[in-house]
Amino acid sequence: MITLEHCQARDASDELAAFRSQFDLPAGTIYLDGNSLGAMPKDAMAHANHVIEQEWGRDLINSWNKADWWGLPTRLGDLLAPLIGAGKGECVVTDTTSLNLFKAVANAVRIQRSRHPERRVIVAERDAFPTDLYMIQGLLQSFAEGYRLELIEGADALAAAVDANTAVVVLSHVNYRSGYLFDMRAVNDLVHGRGALIVWDLCHSVGAVPIDVSATQSDFAIGCTYKYLNGGPGSPAFLWANPKHQAEFWQPLSGWWGHARPFQMESDYAAHPGIRSFLCGTQPIVSLSLVACGLDIFRQTDMQKVRRKSLALTDLFIALVAQECAAHGLTLVTPTEHAYRGSHVSFRHPDGYAVVQALIARGVIGDYREPEVMRFGVTPLYLSFADIWHAVQHLKAVLDRREWDQPKFRARGHVT
227 is catalytic: yes
* CA 239/CA 237 separation, integer angstroms: 7
Residue 390 phi, psi dihedral angles, 5° rounding: -65, -35
For residue 342, give the nearest of 213, 207, 208, 152 by alpha carbon: 208
Among residues 19, 375, 376, 387, the one annotated as catalytic is: 375
The strand pairing partners of 376, in sequence order, are: 345
Residue 272 phi, psi dihedral angles, 5° rounding: -60, 140
Among residues 227, 341, 362, 396, the one annotated as catalytic is: 227
Q: How many helices (H) and strands (E) does the chain have?
A: 13, 15
- DSSP letter for 355, please: H
244 is catalytic: no
End-to-end CA distance of the chain: 34
Sheet of 148-152: strands edge to edge? Answer: 91-93, 238-241, 220-223, 197-201, 166-172, 121-125, 148-152
Residue 165: other Cβ atoms inside 10 A? 17
CB 95 within 8 A of CB 237: yes
Among residues 226, 249, 347, 385, the one annotated as catalytic is: 226
* CA 199/CA 186 separation, integer angstroms: 14
102 is catalytic: no
Among residues 102, 129, 228, 298, the one annotated as catalytic is: 129
Burial (CB < 10 A; 0-12, 13-18, 19+), residue 153, is: exposed
Answer whether the bond into residue 243 is a cis peptide, omega within 30°: no
115 is catalytic: no
Among residues 201, 219, 351, 367, the one annotated as catalytic is: 201
* CA 200/CA 214 separation, integer angstroms: 12
23 is catalytic: no
Q: Show which residues are catalytic.
A: 129, 201, 226-227, 375
